[in-house]
Structure 1
């Protein structure tokens, strides 16, 4: 993938991690709620920090490092300095996301009229948050992916993607439960090259095919 890569996704998770409470009162209210529920909120934050520490050190500039290393980036109400640094980084991150999105939109618009109708439908009727039911390499040059879209943004039922004229299918066949996150598409001489970023497990899949049809399953 060129645009919506695993690294791009990981950086978005860092952005989410830096979503601090705006006021001390909000912080204290949340602490009180979790305490009432018998949940150690600060311990959860410490565990979350350990899970994302490597990415914080990878994507955030050095002034953040002391807060990451001593844990104060996720424990207690953040200092004014930390909140201001986070806001500045977030502004820069949002600008990068917007620029990348605009670049991909220009790319897609430049090839859309030469894509098969099924590929256009796949790109424009979002499969974000659909979950994989099965992946089947049914026969030579054919790939079938069944998806549960009940928790997604379109279809809201099970669908079947049937790729034909397949010359490459770099996607696990034991893949049930994986989440379809983001996709991007490229034009090839005889069809298209589709890239999809999945989660659980995190996989960048690639399918090169001549056509694709989308069928709503009964």
Structure 2
């Protein structure tokens, strides 16, 4: 029996279609800002309600329907008791879906233990927000190539191989460009079953097979640093090659092929093919197949991968001395700030007094609320928070 279903995911999404402010202070601030900006807040909120009304009605408990019908469900005039009840309903739906995800994760961890180490490595990290880049079918074997650049895995390109496919079901045909949202792997009597919920378009895809394997690759560390510094587009291929670690192995991976790289000159020398770089296009020829890439659309740099992981953010894990943590965590130097929070995260018991002081001083904003909630949850589990801190952050603690 599957934990993940398209119906469950859609229900969860609909329960969060209409966010409302949690407190009187939040409403007062919003009303004040709208007035200062000359925005008709009431009219805007009515429009937002109308946009989601039909879908929300499918999941909204009956006790909230009158406030939906009279248009006050997301207005500042909504009675406080109703607001708190609605917010609790939204929170409960989130917890319900979290339980589903936890159960799916447990199934996946149990099943993946029977598969090769490479597959275990892939499922050791999240596939959320990865994108299908290529699909190939050879008899009863399916090759699925996914790009995880926008996701949560250190691996940037993953090749999943489904051996001896038994069944494959989907309400929408599997296609390039679909986003993986959630996944679940199960062990079966005949082998394994894998389910993915996709976005763009919404779809539920389930495949059963005898076995499964994987290959994966990383972006070179220099790629990530140049991208984060917004220098990637201004870096020539020759300059980029000069920055690569010569001791690593590299591959050329495009939307159509994967080739090992034999050597670098000012360009790229392939093991079993050749690359021709023109002014406006790159031509890759492998085994009598010819692929053309428009250089206005593709940068050859983005096709270079390695099998060696180097953490481009390792410097963020350098600990900050205890006497400097508080100032660093609350300061404006972003790198020091990240290092300070990481230091506190790694040493909650030893730094409990500092952590509680920082949490009492920090101001919660829309920009930092998610980050703070992650740390609060971690510190709460480590039971180091004072009563004063617990009171301040009670809305962020499950």
In the alignment, structure 1 residue 184 sits paired with structure 2 residue 189: no
Residues 109, 180 of structure 1: alpha-carbon distance in 2 compared, 3 angstrom cutoff: closer
**1:202 shift after superposition:** 0.4
Count of residues paired in the alignment = 214
The unaligned stretches of length 5 or more in structure 2 are 218-252, 254-304, 306-398
Q: Which residue of 2 aligns with 1:89?
A: 89
Cα distance between partner residues in 2 of 1:214 and 1:41: 52
Q: Which residue of 2 aligns with 1:145?
A: 144
Asked if structure 1 preserves the Cα contact closer than 8 Å seen for 2:168 and 2:207, the reply is: yes
**1:174 shift after superposition:** 5.9
**1:185 shift after superposition:** 1.2
Asked if structure 1 preserves the Cα contact closer than 8 Å seen for 2:115 and 2:213, the reply is: no
Residues 77, 6 of structure 1: alpha-carbon distance in 2 compared, 3 angstrom cutoff: farther
- Superposition pairs of residues 124-135 of structure 1, within 5 angstroms: 124-134=124-134
In the alignment, structure 1 residue 161 sits paired with structure 2 residue 164: no
In the alignment, structure 1 residue 195 sits paired with structure 2 residue 198: no
Cα distance between partner residues in 1 of 2:44 and 2:133: 31
RMSD: 3.1
Larger of the two Rg values belongs to structure: 2
SS in 1 for 2:165: coil
Asked if structure 2 preserves the Cα contact closer than 8 Å seen for 1:178 and 1:198, the reply is: yes
Residues 50, 147 of structure 1: alpha-carbon distance in 2 compared, 3 angstrom cutoff: farther
Deviations 1:143-201 (Å, cap 9, x if unpaired)? 12222211100035233222222222335666222110000111123421000000110
**1:30 shift after superposition:** 5.7
What TM-score, normalized by structure 1, do the two folds share? 0.78
Q: Which moved more, 1:106-115 or 1:207-216?
A: 106-115
Asked if structure 1 preserves the Cα contact closer than 8 Å seen for 2:5 and 2:204, the reply is: yes
- Superposition pairs of residues 94-133 of structure 1, within 5 angstroms: 94-133=94-133
Deviations 1:87-139 (Å, cap 9, x if unpaired)? 331343244234434444554454443344444334322110112223x2421
Cα distance between partner residues in 2 of 1:4 and 1:32: 44
**1:203 shift after superposition:** 0.5
Cα distance between partner residues in 2 of 1:174 and 1:93: 29
SS in 2 for 1:211: strand
In the alignment, structure 1 residue 212 sits paired with structure 2 residue 248: no
Q: Which residue of 2 aligns with 1:68?
A: 68
Cα distance between partner residues in 1 of 2:200 and 2:33: 29
**1:9 shift after superposition:** 1.8
Asked if structure 1 preserves the Cα contact closer than 8 Å seen for 2:27 and 2:76, the reply is: no
Deviations 1:48-81 (Å, cap 9, x if unpaired)? 5455434422222101112223333345564313
What TM-score, normalized by structure 2, do the two folds share? 0.46
The unaligned stretches of length 5 or more in structure 1 are none
Residues 83, 159 of structure 1: alpha-carbon distance in 2 compared, 3 angstrom cutoff: same
Residues 44, 132 of structure 1: alpha-carbon distance in 2 compared, 3 angstrom cutoff: farther
Q: Which moved more, 1:202-211 or 1:45-54?
A: 45-54
